[in-house]
Amino acid sequence: MKGFFRSVLLFIVFVTGAAAGGTGVHLWRGATAPGPAADDLPPRRLEATVLLPSVDNYGRPLDAQWQAALELLTKEFGGATLGPPQEGCWRDAQGKLRREPVRPVTVTFERGKLGRFREVLDEVGKKLGQEAVYARFEEPRVELRTTGGAPKP
């Protein structure tokens, strides 16, 4: 008799779930409300934040070289966002703690341009007299929308 009632109960649960469009199954799997269609989202891009030093290895300002390095990045990738000055720290070959003022520069580009970005980054590092250059990558979805609202000169 227990088996009969269990079968009837399972049948009722199954029919109720099917009639509700399988809602119980979807909730069990943790489904959420539908998001935007894939066509509505901008394509994935790479965003690199590079920490550029603002002084050379002797503490002298890299004003002209820094502007030239920034020019390389913006010319190739169309623009950059400058973060506030910060302090970078690392250990040199002798294990001594070194510090220098740096400034984050963020550049966004198509994923297929990663090789070219690395080439430009090497040029930037040479211009600033660096052995190595730090770059952090993320993969945001970025959309640059033209609004037509720029004032006419």
> 122 falls in which pLDDT band (50, 70, 90)?
very high
Asked if 28 and 53 sit in the same domain, the reply is no
Task: Specify if 18 maps to a domain.
Answer: yes
Burial 133-144 (b: 16+ CB within 10 A, else e): bbbeeeeeeeee
The helix/strand/coil state of 17 is helix
Cβ 45 vs Cβ 141: under 8 Å: yes
Asked if 66 and 111 sit in the same domain, the reply is yes
Asked if 76 and 101 sit in the same domain, the reply is yes
What pLDDT sits at residue 35?
58
Asked if 17 and 78 sit in the same domain, the reply is no
Cβ 62 vs Cβ 125: under 8 Å: no
Asked if 79 and 126 sit in the same domain, the reply is yes
pLDDT digits (tens, 9 = 90+) for 16-53: 444 444 444 444 444 555 555 656 888 889 999 999 99
Which helix (H) or strand (E) segment is 135 a member of?
A: strand 134-138
Asked if 119 and 68 sit in the same domain, the reply is yes
Which CATH number belongs to the domain containing residue 78 in this structure? 3.30.70.120
Task: Specify if 26 maps to a domain.
Answer: yes
Domain of residue 51 covers 46-138
**Given the DSSP bridges, would you call strands 46-53 and 81-82 parallel, antiparallel or unpaired?**
unpaired
| Mean pLDDT score, 99-105 | 96
How many structural domains are present in the chain? 2
What pLDDT sits at residue 149?
82
| Mean pLDDT score, 50-76 | 94
pLDDT digits (tens, 9 = 90+) for 134-153: 999 998 887 878 888 877 77
pTM for this structure? 0.68
Asked if 86 and 108 sit in the same domain, the reply is yes
